[in-house]
Chains A and B, each alone.
Chain A
Amino acid sequence: MTRIRRLSVALVVTGVLGVAAPAAASALTTITISGATASYPLVQLLAQKYVKVHPHKVKFKVTEGGAQVGVNNVVSGASTIGDVSRDPLSSDPKGLDFYPIAKYGICVITNKANALSNLTQAQVISIFTGKTRSWSGVPGATASGTIDLISRTSVAGVLTNFQTLLLENKKVSSIAAEEPSEGLLRQQVENDPNSIGFASNYQSDKGGVNAVALNGVGCNRANALSGQYAGVAHFYEVTKGRASGAAAAFIGWIEKSAAARKIINTQWISIS
């Protein structure tokens, strides 16, 4: 009797542990997405909605790391889709397809206590390249002392776009602190009264920081949408070669469906 009991227990355990459940859950593909921290909140929301709208079809694994990490992962096959927050560069490997999914604005942000309302582009360049090092050299700033530059690590797409769009292709000074993600950059700016940094409008709209107008145009979603604000960039989804299968279905859903457009338009700008 004990032998039969032991055998049946063994069978049940093997059954629970190893045998595939019936067909309901069988065709579940996993899409791995990695890349920019700026588009991470957006892509997570889109993925969550996609799973709700098309249940039992795909699973998503979304990680971050920076736009360049996304590109590298797509090339090496570790990710199906890469999130990239900058335009394609000539140094990018050949054979990648960039699909634009949304637009966002890049805002210069300071601490809430520093009521700086406007900066000209020349001033932005001078501050971020390290020529102006003290707040006394910035008219309109209520902070005093040394300017604490907060920037991003080199893998960030937002950094590349910031340098291209707002710094006239000059590089951010190497003195700047390099944060690995947007959230961290915003944290630093929130905590340090002397700091200045740059982030997507999603971060600056959260309200904990002071978004500085550029050349008289405020940095917010409305001005980015209307085209008045100069620093508008694209989010891309990148695949190796043409997107196919589940990845193509997801990207197509983002580009075409109304639900996706509604999600994008909450904080970002959809490409209609």
Chain B
Amino acid sequence: MSALAPERTLGQPWQTGPGRRSSPIGWRWGDRLALAGAWVAGIGLCVIAAAIVLYMGYRGIEYLRPQLIFSRPAVGTSQSETGGFLDPILGTALLTLIGIVLAVPLAVSSALWICEYGRPSWLARIVESSIEIVAGTPDIVIALFGLAIFQLRLFAPFSFTASGGGVFGRSFIAAGAMMSLIALPPLFATTRDGLQAVPTHMREAAFALGKTRIATIRRVLLPSVRSNIATGVTLGVSRIIGDTAIVVLLLGESLRLESQGSAPVAGLLRGTGSTLTSYVYDNSPAGEGAAPQKAYAAAFVLLALVLCLNLLVDRIGRSQAHATGLRTPAAIL
């Protein structure tokens, strides 16, 4: 009746291997129900995920044409006139760039300070709690906060001022700054875990050689957490790419990239635009709704991007595990 559990590690299901097995036929009803439920839940999740990917793939292949990716959106009265989504793709890339450029120094410095210095300890706890609060804040609240900040007169150079005196408050800089808050928690977490995983003897060896702490950070620690930072950046990028609420509220939702003012790069940053997510939202039945085909095509591109990023995280994680022999936090999943 009782099974002799065979010697096993994770990777061998209990049904195989030597020794007597406990067959479900002899179990109580509740256990059999739980067993069935576990199988249904597990397989069901996989089926749902496969269904979503396959359905989006099917629709994407049905509606995606190469000229959609390379032509700019336009105003038109019929679908053939409204062009493609080149500008949203560029907008996604620009926004991600701004978000990561702002997030990396913040996250890495915070992780370094907490792991290497962290005095006084109540201050370190405050910083950690703040980052946890940012992680738990809904993106729509962050977007409203961004609107409140960037509509202040102080930040008028970051967007533009309407003729009536109201600060528009919506631009790539505004959205990018809030996106950096979105990317901050995963970046911070992976960097901090990487720093904590560096063995103390490496630091001590550097100190024994006479290096100051900051020099150790520069020469020893940062290089060794490079792949952690890379993982964090990729996680942050996939969060930024998938975010819609901040884009809808803070990017001004012009179809094309519209720069503001005459300086080339600064104008682009102060200007408005759209991203793939807001393009899908606008073309879906929740937005202006006129073009579910274009929404499907753009959504397919978006999903493909996110899946590639997923693979990238996987690759980096696996190569790091090989290199250092240490398990990354996300090793099991």
Contacts and interface: CB of A to CB of B under 8 A. Distances in A.
A266 interface: yes
A31 B163 CA distance: 8
B272 A184 contact: no
Nearest to A62: B254
B81 to A, nearest CB: 10
Interface stretch (A22-30, A111-119, A146-154): A22-30
B77 to A, nearest CB: 7
Interface in B75-130: 75, 77
Interface string A236-253: 000010000101000000
A76 B77 contact: no
Contacts of B160: 30
Interface string B273-288: 0000000000001111
Interface in A68-112: 73-74, 76-80
Given A16-B265, A20-B263, A187 B285 contact: yes
Interface in A212-268: 240, 245, 247, 266-267
B75 A18 contact: no
Contacts of B285: 184, 187-188, 191
A245 B164 CA distance: 13
A32 B263 CA distance: 20
A76 B263 contact: no
Contacts of A186: 289
Interface stretch (A40-48, A125-133, A135-143, A167-175): A40-48
A52 B190 CA distance: 50
A41 B258 contact: no
A159 B286 CA distance: 19
Contacts of A267: 77
B264 interface: yes
Interface residues of B, number: 28
B269 to A, nearest CB: 9
Given A45-B77, A183-B289, A183-B290, A77 B264 contact: no
A167 B118 CA distance: 69
B266 A18 contact: yes
Given A18-B266, A183-B287, A76 B164 contact: yes
A17 interface: yes
Nearest to A30: B160
Nearest to B284: A187
Contacts of A191: 285
Most A CB within 10 A of own CB, among B160, B258, B289 = B289
A51 to B, nearest CB: 11
Contact of A61 (B272, B286, B290): B272
B313 to A, nearest CB: 32
Secondary structure class of chain B's binding surface, majority of residues: loop
B159 to A, nearest CB: 11
A77 to B, nearest CB: 2
B265 A78 contact: no
Contacts of A26: 262
B289 A78 contact: no
B288 A184 contact: yes
Interface in B123-170: 160, 162-166, 168
Contact of A32 (B162, B261, B266, B287): B162
B74 interface: yes
A19 B267 CA distance: 10
Interface string B238-264: 000000000000001110001011111
Contacts of A247: 163
Most B CB within 10 A of own CB, among A44, A61, A188 = A61
Given A32-B163, A78-B166, A267-B77, 18 more contacts: A16-B264, A16-B265, A17-B266, A25-B262, A26-B262, A28-B262, A41-B75, A41-B77, A61-B254, A73-B166, A74-B164, A76-B164, A77-B165, A181-B287, A187-B285, A191-B285, A240-B164, A247-B163
- Which are the 10 A-B pairs with shortest beta-carbon distances? A77-B164, A78-B166, A183-B288, A187-B289, A25-B262, A44-B75, A77-B166, A77-B165, A187-B285, A183-B289
6 contacts: A61-B272, A78-B164, A78-B168, A79-B162, A181-B287, A183-B288
